[in-house]
Structure 1
């Protein structure tokens, strides 16, 4: 198999940081996920192109945070990110469902669909322009075929309704 080269830039300028990966597609896939700290389970089933797109989003986000906010990277650990103990979103969801907010924050967090949020946002849209904006602002979610199918169905339904 031939060697492939993938370059991911952190910005548009020549002086911006670049990350270059060379090797077979499977080697590059593994290298990119390791380099950007991506969880292989969340990237399972994605093409190399989709993984490059996700990694580019990470690179651009880090560059933007560094340039716009003057932030610097601090120690990165391999451990799982801290889970919020008093999550306002969980409390709001619990309040809507009739449960007490305190029981929602005390309960063990459930493993939920990573696309639940975007699927809910797609469903909330009332105009074709809203659906288009949602896609433009959240492209990383749309590499999942189920999300893309829901988005297309919502857009089609809104278009037929004249919204």
Structure 2
């Protein structure tokens, strides 16, 4: 962590710790303080920032604080630099007589149990290495699946050998 990103960690006589996460560099910027045992602070940070704690259990508290700090700084920058405002993270209940609101609030269904099925199909559709590379650049997160990366490399070889 850079010196200007270092967060204040305080130890208390009762064994509790305190973690302060700031949204910016200045004293006037928003900040939040979490106090309790390591486990309590971890749970408070996860809850406050909306992290799924089950996804964060492999992280040390220090790493979790870095992730939370990065998120806080990002939100702080968006708010101050772009003069943006945070809106509700929970979609409003759709009115029964508003089909557009209902459609916006619904989550699309996955056609198969394979979350990578779409990208695998797109890889096979590519007709040039340049298009294949563009597909990768636009969907990098999906390439963490080893099956997707294997299909990508195989398609690249097939296109190269033409």
2:70 and 2:106 mapped to 1: Cα distance?
Answer: 22
Deviations 1:30-85 (A, max 9, x none): 00000111111221211110110110011001001111111111112299x97679
1:18 and 1:7 mapped to 2: Cα distance?
Answer: 7
| Counterpart position of 2:58 | 45
Q: Where in structure 2 are there 5+ consecutive unaligned residues?
A: 1-13, 93-104, 110-116, 127-140, 150-162
Q: Where in structure 1 are there 5+ consecutive unaligned residues?
A: 100-112, 121-163
Shift of 1:93: 6.0
| Counterpart position of 2:121 | 94
Normalised TM-score (structure 1): 0.51
Deviations 1:94-150 (A, max 9, x none): 332238xxxxxxxxxxxxx88828xx7xxxxxxxxxxxxxxxxxxxxxxxxxxxxxx
2:75 and 2:119 mapped to 1: Cα distance?
Answer: 30
Normalised TM-score (structure 2): 0.51
| Counterpart position of 1:7 | 20
| Counterpart position of 1:116 | 144
The structure having more radius of gyration, on CA atoms, is: 2
Equivalent pairs counted in the alignment come to 100
2:71 and 2:53 mapped to 1: Cα distance?
Answer: 15
Aligned residues of 2:119 and 2:142 also touching (Cα < 8 A): no
What are the within-5 Å matches in structure 2 for residues 50-89 of structure 1? Answer: 50-77=63-90
